[in-house]
Amino acid sequence: QVRLVESGGGVVQPGTSLRLSCAASGFSFSTYDLDWVRQVPGKGLEWLAVVSYDGVIEYYADSVRGRFTISRDNSKHILYLQMNNLRFEDTALYFCARSRVGSPFDHWGRGTLLTVSS
């Protein structure tokens, strides 16, 4: 079955960097776009970024463009989110999700929690 498992979250200080990973299995990885979405506990969903199935196209939310970079390794079936210059407001649960152009996110991981604290 389709599995998406995020990892790499933790407690970090403001201004530091961190890379999240999302390990995928159970589907043809290189034929799906992949997204990162975050959620502050008790709040709504915030879409962050998408990378196309071939890794060529990337789009970012305004809130993270220039600080976060999405990438993928189709040989290892892993999605990444490189996060630089982290801020207190980046504290959230980070989900990866699978999508196709225009279609909903049909599978999600369970999320990895990032806390930015001094």
Partner 1 sequence: SYVLTQPPSVSAAPGETAKITCGGNTIESRSVHWYQQKSGQAPVVVISHDSGRPSGIPERFSGSNSGSTATLTISRVEAEDEADYHCQVWDPGSDHWVFGGGTKLTVL
Neighbours of 57 (CB within 10 A): 11
> Which residue among 20, 92, 105, 114 contacts partner 1 (CB under 8 A)?
105
The separation between the first and the last C-alpha atoms of the chain, rounded to the nearest angstrom, is 40
Query: Nearer to partner 1 by C-beta: 44 or 66?
Result: 44
Among 45, 69, 74, 91, binds partner 1 (CB under 8 A): 45
List residues near partner 1 by CB under 8 A: 35, 37, 43-47, 50, 59, 61-62, 95, 102-106, 108-111
